[in-house]
Chains A and B, each alone.
Chain A
Amino acid sequence: DARVTQTPRHKVTEMGQEVTMRCQPILGHNTVFWYRQTMMQGLELLAYFRNRAPLDDSGMPKDRFSAEMPDATLATLKIQPSEPRDSAVYFCASGAPTGWHTDTQYFGPGTRLTVL
């Protein structure tokens, strides 16, 4: 069945290293969202794409985070350099372009990032 996939599922890295997370949205979905979830902050929206164009990245620390959609089947979130405070679960979600459930987002399994 159709689902959002994310890689890697787990990542442990050292402070200062670059981290790249990947997401494959559900085929046919034209919106992609990146979220970060921590115990303290809950689910925070980092960035949001529609038809591969970035619409809102106001939730993302611009100095170290970047998000792109090189094609319709791949979204990436990069952190360079990583810091311990970036440790969290990063979720990707996608949404369909039309229909009565247009606000429904479908989440991938997440990438659990630990920065030492």
Chain B
Amino acid sequence: EDKVVQSPLSLVVHEGDTVTLNCSYEVTNFRSLLWYKQEKKAPTFLFMLTSSGIEKKSGRLSSILDKKELSSILNITATQTGDSAIYLCAVGLNYGGATNKLIFGTGTLLAVQP
């Protein structure tokens, strides 16, 4: 059975801290790994990773994929209270064709305290 596991389940940090969120997967036909941020509404897209070792960066957020270790990390530097959210990791499976289904992890709940 295809599986995506995220750790930690939850995390409390103080503003200014750096955090690392983990995502590991066991799937057949891996195609891509995506990170989403979910505040009190819909998940919003952060990154999509398909190649090992290439860092994607957006402001204080960055992510990298390790296909050998079947995992990815999401780093957030200089955290702010606005970073408080659930961070979801999802893996896209290659069944052929465009826009295939995603398998989501249960998420990491990040709380940033002032």
Q: Mark A15-57, 1 if CB is under 8 A from B, else 0.
A: 0000000000000001101000000001101001010000010
A-B contact count (CB 8 A): 58
The answer to whether A103 touches B100, judged by C-beta atoms less than 8 angstroms apart, is yes
The answer to whether A107 touches B48 (Cβ under 8 A) is no
Contact A103 B44 (CB under 8 A): no
Contacting residues, chain B, for A98 (C-beta < 8 A) = 98
On chain B, the number of residues with a Cβ less than 8 Å from chain A's Cβ atoms is: 23
Closest A residue, CB atoms, query B32: A103
Is B98 touching A31 in the complex (CB atoms < 8 A)? yes
Contact A50 B106 (CB under 8 A): no
Question: Does B42 lie within 8 Å of A107, measured CB to CB?
Answer: yes
Classify chain A: how many residues form its interface, as a range: 20 to 34
Of residues 18 through 48 on chain B, the ones whose CB sits less than 8 Å from some CB of chain A are: 31-32, 34, 36, 41-45, 48
Residues of B within 8 A of A105 (CB): 45, 99, 102
